[in-house]
């Protein structure tokens, strides 16, 4: 730890003595004293394991892990305590996070296959975790607190170690002992699957979009059957035997069956994607063992909505190949664009979604809704038609809430962020599909400081800020000022998340 941190340790010890926080050789466990010393530590983090007491401390503007007792496996600044004994003041490093997960297993993620309702809470900044945990404290849903794609890692300059550790420190800070997960989101390669699971992630979202041939869906008649005939004969024989006699009646009454053209189309569109899904799953088994991780299959990154027949084809093939799918994300009708409400006919969505939910029930996994941030108009249907058995992913809305807090509390900084977003918008569209119309966003010079938060009710403005996070965080000066402001108002940010994510959960019926 650096000299500034050492100085802060001295200040913390002095304040702790005055607050009667320290006993001979350790921390008091008196609830009243802990509450009175709330400015010095996070009381919910205080845990005793054998002869070691751990807690998360507040050292000025920073946080540190306090280890009182043997402290085996931790590294930090050792100090003598009044009355005897020693304590370690440890940086929130990856090595210390690993030691904490070993000492207190509930600070490590676990697979969530047995959970009925799960929600992915992508935290691109590494500081939203306490707000997420407080939101879910009295809710019947298991959170995936670490959720990040390789694209997001590249754009934010973070690592999977950092993403996992941020979630661990949040769980420890809040004393959250219920199951939680960590998702290597939208992974496309076997190498990344092994990497994420090797670091300690417990869920893989397999992105097979590069192998989905949506253009084959337009083939018909002799052209379609000729293309199917070009597939390996053994593969075709297996599919013919499995699907041409299939008569699947769902619990909603719909019957799914395949004629030769329907089977050929499904095989041509999804066959190679399933081969790649199998490669990714086998890589996961090599890294974590069978049943050692949650496996979500994503077929949503395509322009063509997944038909019920295609969903059944993918699910049945996964079962035949012994892929342990715990959730599956189809491409639904309408548009699930980033950071705004659903675009499309809600009744059409409900009708289609009901069938997809029934297929998921039949095959025994959760239906998954990607880009689930702020889709308030369809949330009630998702909760009702699944009877609460689903996975939903949010990410960008947590970033938007952080920027909204800045718009409210530091208008000058928000204006800089907004202008930076405008300047970098075109570059950001290379990563995200949006239909943003910049002409529909009011000009900054026409808005008073008090009016800036109203921009977040404007879909085009929301998407502008949503997709430019990577460009803004690459600006060293903006990034420094952004995090400094957010840290200053961190409790306001966590409270904002409780309200906003809480609204998501209310609409979903959680």
Q: Which of 183, 294, 296, 309 is catalytic?
A: 296
**Tokens standing for 344?**
């499309």
**CA–CA separation, 173 and 56 (whole Å):** 6
Q: And the tokens for 248?
A: 């699947």
| 174 counts as catalytic | no
CA pair distance 494, 503, nearest whole angstrom: 14
CB 307 within 8 A of CB 313: no
Q: Which residues contact 477 (CB under 8 A, 6 or more apart)?
A: none
CB < 8 Å & 24+ apart, contacts of 477-480: 478/416, 478/417, 478/420
User: Which is catalytic among the residues 123, 185, 207, 471?
Assistant: 185
Q: 218 is written with which tokens?
A: 């337009």
Report the distance separating Cα 343 and Cα 331, nearest Å. Answer: 14
What is the DSSP secondary structure assignment for residue 41, as one 8-state letter? B
Half-sphere exposure of residue 86: CA atoms within 13 angstroms, side-chain side: 9
Residues 6+ apart with CB under 8 A from 322: none
Residue 316's φ and ψ, nearest 5 degrees, are -65, -40
Whether 401 is catalytic is no
For 309, residues 6+ apart whose C-beta sits below 8 A from its C-beta are 256, 258, 262, 266
The CA distance from 96 to 65, in Å, is 8
CA distances 309 to 234, 327, 336, 480, Å, are 22, 17, 21, 50
Distant-in-sequence, close-in-space partners of 372: CB < 8 Å, separation ≥ 6: 120, 336, 392, 393, 394, 504
Catalytic sites, residue numbers: 185, 296
């Amino acid at each position: 730890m650096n000299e500034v941190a050492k100085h802060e340790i001295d200040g913390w010890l002095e304040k702790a003595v005055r607050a009667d926080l320290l006993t001979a050789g350790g921390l008091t466990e008196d609830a009243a004293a802990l509450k009175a010393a709330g400015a010095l530590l996070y009381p919910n983090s205080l845990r005793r394991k054998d002869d070691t007491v751990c807690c998360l401390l507040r050292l000025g503007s920073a946080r540190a892990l306090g280890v009182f007792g043997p402290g085996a496996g931790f590294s930090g600044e050792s100090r003598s305590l009044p009355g005897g004994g020693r304590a370690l003041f440890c940086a929130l490093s990856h090595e210390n996070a690993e030691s904490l997960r070993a000492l207190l297993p509930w600070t490590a993620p676990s697979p969530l296959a047995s959970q009925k309702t799960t929600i992915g809470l992508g935290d691109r900044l590494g500081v939203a975790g306490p707000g997420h945990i407080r939101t879910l404290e009295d809710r019947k849903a298991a959170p995936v607190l670490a959720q990040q794609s390789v694209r997001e890692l590249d754009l934010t300059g973070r690592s999977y170690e950092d993403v996992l550790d941020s979630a661990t420190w949040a769980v420890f800070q809040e004393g959250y002992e219920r199951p939680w997960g960590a998702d290597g989101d939208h992974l496309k390669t076997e190498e990344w699957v092994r990497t994420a699971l090797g670091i300690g992630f417990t869920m893989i979202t397999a992105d097979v979009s590069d192998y989905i041939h949506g253009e084959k869906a337009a083939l018909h008649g002799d052209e379609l059957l000729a293309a199917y005939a070009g597939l390996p004969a053994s593969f075709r024989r297996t599919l013919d035997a499995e699907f041409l006699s299939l008569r699947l009646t769902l619990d909603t009454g719909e019957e799914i069956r395949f004629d030769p053209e329907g089977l050929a189309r499904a095989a041509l569109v999804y066959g190679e994607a399933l081969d790649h899904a199998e490669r990714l799953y086998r890589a996961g088994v090599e890294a974590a063992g069978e049943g050692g991780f949650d496996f979500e299959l994503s077929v949503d990154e395509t322009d063509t909505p997944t038909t019920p027949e295609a969903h059944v084809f993918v699910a049945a093939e996964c079962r035949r190949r012994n892929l342990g799918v715990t959730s599956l994300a189809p491409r639904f009708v309408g548009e699930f664009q980033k950071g705004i409400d659903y675009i499309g006919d809600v009744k059409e969505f409900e009708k289609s979604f009901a069938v997809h939910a029934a297929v998921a029930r039949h095959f025994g996994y959760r239906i998954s809704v990607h880009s689930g941030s702020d889709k308030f108009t369809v949330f009630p249907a998702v909760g009702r038609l699944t009877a609460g058995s689903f996975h939903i992913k949010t990410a960008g809305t947590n970033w938007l809430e952080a920027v909204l807090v800045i718009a409210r509390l530091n208008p000058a900084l928000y204006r800089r962020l907004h202008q930076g977003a405008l300047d970098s918008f075109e570059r950001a569209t290379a990563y995200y599909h949006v239909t943003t119309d910049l002409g529909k966003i009011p000009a900054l010079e026409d808005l008073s400081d008090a009016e800036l938060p109203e921009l977040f009710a404007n879909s085009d403005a929301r998407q502008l800020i949503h997709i430019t996070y990577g460009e803004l965080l690459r600006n060293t000066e903006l990034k420094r000022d952004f995090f400094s402001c957010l840290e200053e108002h961190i409790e306001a940010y966590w409270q904002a998340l409780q309200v906003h994510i809480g609204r998501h959960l209310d609409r979903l019926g959680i």
